[in-house]
Amino acid sequence: MSGWQNSDRSRDVRKRWEGVRRQEKDLHGQLQPTPRPPHSDTPQHTPGGGGNDGAEALGLGCIAIAVVFVLAVFGVAIAFIGAILGVWG
Asked if residue 40 belongs to a domain, the reply is: no
Q: How many domains does the chain have?
A: 1
Cα torsion through 64, 68, 70, 75, rounded to 10: 160
| 89 residues of the chain, pLDDT tens digit each | 555 556 666 777 776 666 665 555 555 566 566 666 666 565 555 555 556 666 677 788 899 999 999 999 999 999 999 999 988 76
Residue 83 is part of which domain span?
61-89
pLDDT of residue 28: 58
Q: What's the pLDDT at 61?
A: 86
Rounded-to-integer distance, Cα 59 and Cα 65, Å = 10
Q: Which of 26, 48, 24 is nearest to 35 (CA)?
A: 24
Does some domain include residue 11?
no
With respect to residue 49, please indicate whether it lies within any of the assigned structural domains: no
Residue 68 inside a domain? The answer is yes
Within a domain: 2: no
pLDDT value at residue 39: 60
